Structure 1
């Protein structure tokens, strides 16, 4: 499944809007970080969630960039941290941290996809709707369906256990083959 173009209009469903905000905010902050790293730009972004919660990103910090913006006419005197910031070691550290961030974002996306896949599989399971209610609230027919489902699950479990036992035995045999030679 590839990406598809999303029409630019406000998302009507509030929960979908919150999910969209979170994903887009992460992407926006990532792009701002890339801009700051690649171009040595000072960047600050402040956004408010649909719920009114503020989120900010700043490079080198939100405070430094805002201070510089507010004092545009006044030349800023270099501070010790600003003088030390451009050392080769700092650049290596920043590259290393950016690499780690990219790796973690990829892992997070993979985990999200796994979660979505598991949710889809969960809804496909016959009888899964019975797992949503407490057993005491199930009717006799639903209880019988649940029993049938559980028995089928148990049979699949035993079958899988047998397969694993056979595989384990074959693996042991492949590692320690039995010889046909008679001992003298």
Structure 2
């Protein structure tokens, strides 16, 4: 067993000796040095789509590289730019609308209008448009009350009545001092 060598390099003891090869000295203390040596033999294009252009750049430095990848990438880039411009324009229009709303609200606040208590304004002081708005507000409020009430009724009806000996027990009577 002592002669068999482990395949895992993680916790093995490394003999301390001088390494003659300077390239090996650079990765001496790396646990994945075998992986580094394996990857050296494979070409890497440095994010360029064609390996021929990389090969030509290193082998024949005088020959200019004809780059036709720009023609392939440019339409995709323009589509992406157009989408971003469209998103920017939508956000800009939303921001402009928000600014206008903010200006209107600021003007209403400075004019002294109290919109938190809109229901307290007398009806004879309202014009027809304001009366219609008041009617729609009350209709909406009434609908919300109906929805809330129907939810409460549904919850109450879905509750199960308690069963057991407490059902047969008489209900207590309170006479509050009257005989």
TM-score scaled to structure 1, two decimals?
0.29
Where is the strand percentage greater, Structure 1 or Structure 2?
1
Larger radius of gyration, structure 1 or 2? 2
TM-score scaled to structure 2, two decimals?
0.30
Where is the helix percentage greater, Structure 1 or Structure 2?
1
